[in-house]
A and B are shown apart, each in its own frame.
Chain A
């Protein structure tokens, strides 16, 4: 039935009320902020959906959003065992960049970067995307040479990338220790000016709110415990809230991908490892960019609240406990204090780990499986936050059309049989 004028008017009014803007902020301020509505509904599962996304992290929520907004699939659900963004999405150090070596990587990370640049407007949500630049530093002659090779490759792909000399670094980051007689002397670096950070929780919330607005059911506190198959075809998921039917299921569960694969009787080339980060007490602004060092596995930025955000390298053994081993942050902090002596008396307020899904070639898996209708998006490991919009966008396309587009195609599971790996290990060192 066609929508009547009155219905349309009511909907427009409701939408306007829901729309976030400076005016809605002022309006709410007048009412002591009593009138804000829930950003998304607490949906209970229906018996059946056209598609189910397992995992309410950034990638799962982005997938749902693009399924609804690009492919008009609105009878879909996102199923999350905990709370939205409680996995790696809410645990990462939020570095965004697209300066990867290989063409396949450049194409997906740059796709994401372009989406980031308009995302706050698309979602009508302040994701605090800040293109403050990402500077990767080199500590040896060899690293510097490898870096310039990478910079040229990145530029050939049309992605911004500049080599900085120690003098330029000194000017760009005054608090960095440029003494050449330290354990990790800074011999140069390369900068992606369009790189930066975004508020991780806001990314999850923004996608959730926008997807919910189009009718997507977001079901939290609901764990998938089994995948229901009929022969070689997926027909539904078993959950702590009962069986939910669907002939298309996308798994976006990061560190738990092997567990979900096991439920379907398939396997993944993935090892689940803790990755750790820390934040300090808030201080006055001292760092207005992001610094990464691959050699010492250290990356640092300052949040808008003033906390110093520090990330370490990945732990050396498999774990599903969201805490890491102590020597890893200790090693990172030793290098951080040497590079930034100003940090030495800072107190750390919080320290945590997230379970990341590491892949043999340090590139993700965006793929169909041997089970019809079952798709996996995983293997982002230590560096998938930056890809969130791009990953969701191409994965939605894969699920809707049951074939990968050009960006997603190289990331099929079959690469582990053909040998067409996208080896970003040597290229990127750590891939945050």
Chain B
């Protein structure tokens, strides 16, 4: 049985939690042209590493809040727990974040580009 340290409630048994799978998947925005193939990356394709995995968990039978967990899928050891919106802070966690294929996926690039695009259109005088 895993013991997971909810950032809001402290150490609790695994049974109180729900697992939301891979963390840090950015949603491509509607006004971004993206192919069906790339959209499938966002919708269906998942990182599934044997080793350190960054995933979302929810304390569903407790405070019901979401957070991130860096967990090893072989030893089940939890390396760190960090809030939604944050990136992992341990060295191994950061390396796993950078190494994920998703950092290169067009779907994620599309999601990242949107703020730049809006910035551009607001400054350019077109």
Contact = CB atoms under 8 A, between A and B. Distances in A.
B14 interface: yes
Chain B residues touching A, range: 20 to 34
Interface stretch (A2-10, A203-211, A314-322): A314-322
Nearest to A326: B1
Contact of A271 (B41, B46, B50): B46
Interface in B46-86: 46, 48-50, 53, 55, 71, 73-76
A272 B1 CA distance: 18
Taking chain B's interface residues, is the majority helix, strand, or loop, or is none over half, making it mixed?
mixed
* Residue of A259, A268, A317, A326 with most partner-chain B CB within 10 A: A317
Interface residues of A, number: 23
A267 to B, nearest CB: 5
Nearest to B38: A417
B75 A321 contact: yes
B106 interface: no
A36 interface: no
B101 A316 contact: no
Nearest to A360: B44
Contacts, number: 59
A340 B3 CA distance: 32
A318 B21 contact: yes
A256 B51 CA distance: 12
B73 A416 contact: no
A258 B73 CA distance: 13
B50 A267 contact: no
Interface in A379-432: 416-419
A267 B40 CA distance: 11
A325 interface: yes
A316 B18 contact: yes
B43 interface: yes
B19 interface: yes
Contacts of A419: 36
Nearest to A267: B45
Given A320-B73, A325-B2, A272 B48 contact: yes
A267 B22 CA distance: 14
Interface string B1-44: 11000000000001100110100000000000000110111011
A269 interface: yes
Contacts of A256: 50
A317 B55 contact: yes
A269 B15 CA distance: 26
B74 A417 contact: no
B21 A416 contact: no
Nearest to B19: A317
A267 B49 CA distance: 11
Nearest to A359: B44
A272 B48 CA distance: 7
Contacts of A269: 40, 44-46
B55 A268 contact: no
Contacts of B53: 318
A268 B45 CA distance: 6
B25 to A, nearest CB: 13
Given A327-B14, A417-B36, A320 B50 contact: yes
A238 B89 CA distance: 36
A270 interface: yes
Interface string B71-115: 101111000000000000000000000000100000000000000
Nearest to B53: A318
B55 A318 contact: yes
Given A321-B75, A325-B2, A416 B19 contact: no
Interface of A: 256, 258-259, 267-272, 316-321, 325-327, 360, 416-419
Interface of B: 1-2, 14-15, 18-19, 21, 36-37, 39-41, 43-46, 48-50, 53, 55, 71, 73-76, 101
9 contacts: A269-B44, A269-B45, A316-B18, A317-B71, A318-B55, A320-B74, A417-B40, A418-B36, A419-B36
Given A325-B1, A419-B36, 18 more contacts: A256-B50, A258-B48, A271-B21, A271-B46, A271-B48, A272-B50, A272-B73, A316-B18, A316-B19, A317-B71, A318-B21, A318-B55, A318-B73, A319-B74, A320-B73, A320-B74, A416-B44, A417-B36
Instruction: Give 3 nearest A-B pairs by CB, closest first.
Output: A258-B48, A269-B44, A317-B19
